[in-house]
Amino acid sequence: MRATALLLVLLMLVPLAHAQNLGETLQECPGTMTGSTQPQQIHLQMTDDATIMNVMWATEGRATGEVEWNGQTSPSTDYCYNHDMAFHMASMTGIEPGEDVTYRVSSGGDWSDEFTFTPIDTSADNFEWIAIADHGDSSEGMDVSEAIIADTTAQMVTISGDIAYADGEQSAWDGWFNFQQDSMTRIPWVTAVGNHENEPGYEFAPYEHRFDSDGQAESEIFWYSRDFPGVHMVFMSTEHDYSAGSVQFSWLEQDLSTVDRDVTPFVIVYGHKPMYSSNSYHGSEVELRSALEALYVNHEVDLVIAGHDHFYERTWPVAGETVVNNGKDGRFARGYAPIHLVIGIAGRSAYEELDEPQPGWSAYRENSSYGWTRLVYDGDAREISFTHYRIDGTIGDQFILQEAPLPHESGDGFLGVPGFGTLLPIVAMFGAAVRRLR
For the entire predicted model, the pTM comes to 0.90
Dihedral (CA of 69, 70, 73, 77) sign: negative
Residue 409, pLDDT score: 65
Where in 124-172 does DSSP place strands (E)? 126-132, 157-160
Residue 29, pLDDT score: 72
* CATH no. of 13-117: 2.60.40.10
Residue 216, pLDDT score: 75
Letter for the amino acid at 360? Answer: G
Q: Give backbone dihedrals phi and psi of 109, rounded to 5 degrees, phi first.
A: 90, -5
C-alpha to C-alpha distances, 207 to 198, 266, 271, 436, nearest whole angstrom: 8, 28, 15, 37
CA pair distance 127, 115, nearest whole angstrom: 21
The superfamily in CATH containing domain 142-437 is Metallo-dependent phosphatases (3.60.21.10)
Residue 4, pLDDT score: 36
Residue 31, pLDDT score: 60
Per-residue pLDDT of the chain (438 residues; tens, 9 = 90+): 334 333 333 333 333 334 555 666 666 676 677 789 999 999 999 999 999 999 999 999 989 999 999 999 999 999 999 998 999 999 999 999 999 999 999 999 999 999 999 999 999 999 999 999 999 999 999 999 999 999 999 999 999 999 999 999 999 999 999 999 999 999 999 999 999 999 999 999 999 999 988 877 777 789 999 999 999 999 999 999 999 999 999 999 999 999 999 999 999 999 999 999 999 999 999 999 999 999 999 999 999 999 999 999 999 999 999 999 999 999 999 999 999 999 999 999 999 999 999 999 999 999 999 999 999 999 999 999 999 999 999 999 999 999 999 987 644 444 334 344 455 555 555 554 544 444
Residue 38, pLDDT score: 97
Q: Give the DSSP H or E segment for 188.
A: none
Which part of the chain is CATH 2.60.40.10? 13-117
Which part of the chain is CATH 3.60.21.10? 142-437
